[in-house]
A = this chain, B = another copy of it.
Amino acid sequence: MEKQQALKILSDLIAIPSINDQEAQVADYIAQLFADYPAQVQRVRYAPGRDNLVVTIGEKGPLLGFSGHEDVVAVDSNKDWDYPPFSATIKDGKLYGRGASDMKSGLAAMIVAMLDLLNNGQPLAGRIRLLASVGEETGEYGAAQLTQAGYASDLQGLVIGEPTDLQVRVTHKGVIDYKLESLGKSVHSSQPDLGKNAILPLIEFVHQAQIVLAADNQVDSTLGKLTHVISQIQGGSQINTVPAHAWLTGNIRTIPAYSNELVMQQLDKIVQQLNASGAQLKITYSYPEPPLPTQAHTRLAQLASHVLQEQFHLSGNLTAGVGATDASEYHQVQNLPIIIVGPADGTTDHQPNEYVTVAKYLRGCQFYQALAQAFWQEF
């Protein structure tokens, strides 16, 4: 494919403002790219306007999965951007726009690789299935839906195109988001004994949670330690009133040594004990995602590393990440090797002036094609 055409596909994807929603427009766009080819295109609706898309090419042979998410995170303020976030701008070898790094460049490069394979005139030596998911940024529920519906069950390997600067990410932390709500009883602050302060049990919870989770202190050789961030807190309405309602949110990044279930049990226990002493706390978890245990030993990881070294003269390093990806969901498929390799370097994810280097993007297109061919040969 011509360089300009490959860049147009990425630019077209960036022009769709699929901010935690509207992924159906991305799915429509990808579907029409494959309309004139022998490809099996399946829409998997998550919600109105929110379609996952599954595109399978090839008739027989080893089945490699390509995974990319269709959604992007919001733009805080256009004023922080030097370029319009939803109209790709190329300047000094960089392509700017929301999703340029995370991860419409990975998604586009996978699409370009598939179209190039279809266009090169020879029958395919294997199969590729593109899994384009909704809602990765807000809980990986698109990947969960595709996993449960079986679209990953027959894969023999899966590559996720999140930004890794074309290194091979073989493991990442899990994530637990939680919200803790506290109920009290409001009275005038001059007579606090007649009321119940909703903020204080939150303070006590944080104090205890910091101690309990600090004891989960094993250090994973590649992922490091479990981390816990109290990210938001809010309570009370005026200075001379005992607050009747308060809440906080927390974000935990887990490692394989401590299962998400264990960590949630530890928090639940603190809540239960505080409630037993008079607090009225309720903790809820949204989309806990398990860590991805290391895939370093898999043939897929070794193969990707080899292709990067031999054909692209890159390091082929096996690396670790901190952020959860759709891999947390697809990993539920038994014995499915998963690696994360994407063209962007990830330094501007979720930030203003997000970009991907044009050269890296185009190399990503070539890499995915080369990896598929090597996979078909080796597996």
Residues of A within 8 A of B (CB): 173, 175, 177, 188-193, 197, 199-200, 202-203, 206-207, 210, 227-243, 246, 248-251, 253, 322-323, 349-350
Q: How far is the CA of A239 from the CA of B206 in the complex (A)?
A: 15
Q: Are A238 and B232 in contact (CB under 8 A)?
A: yes
Pick from A190, A238, A249 the residue with the most CB of B within 10 Å.
A190
Residues of chain B within 8 A of A203, CB atoms compared: 203, 206-207, 230
Task: Using CB atoms, name the residue of chain B closest to A322.
Answer: B190
Q: A177-B240, A239-B251, A251-B239 are in contact. Are A189 and B350 (CB under 8 A)?
A: no
Q: How far is the CA of A236 from the CA of B190 in the complex (A)?
A: 29
Q: Are A242 and B236 in contact (CB under 8 A)?
A: no
Q: Are B189 and A253 in contact (CB under 8 A)?
A: yes
Residues of chain B within 8 A of A234, CB atoms compared: 233-235
Report how many copies the assembly holds. Answer: 2
Distance (whole angstroms) from the CB of A355 to the closest CB of chain B = 17
Q: How far is the CA of A188 from the CA of B350 in the complex (A)?
A: 9
Q: Which 4 A-B pairs have the closest CB atoms?
A: A232-B236, A190-B322, A189-B251, A189-B229
Residues of chain B within 8 A of A350, CB atoms compared: 188
Q: Are B173 and A227 in contact (CB under 8 A)?
A: no
Distance (whole angstroms) from the CB of A73 to the closest CB of chain B = 9
Q: Are A235 and B233 in contact (CB under 8 A)?
A: yes
Q: How far is the CA of A234 from the CA of B241 in the complex (A)?
A: 15
Distance (whole angstroms) from the CB of A128 to the closest CB of chain B = 30
Q: How far is the CA of A53 from the CA of B164 in the complex (A)?
A: 72
Q: Are A190 and B232 in contact (CB under 8 A)?
A: no
Distance (whole angstroms) from the CB of A224 to the closest CB of chain B = 9
Q: Are B240 and A251 in contact (CB under 8 A)?
A: yes
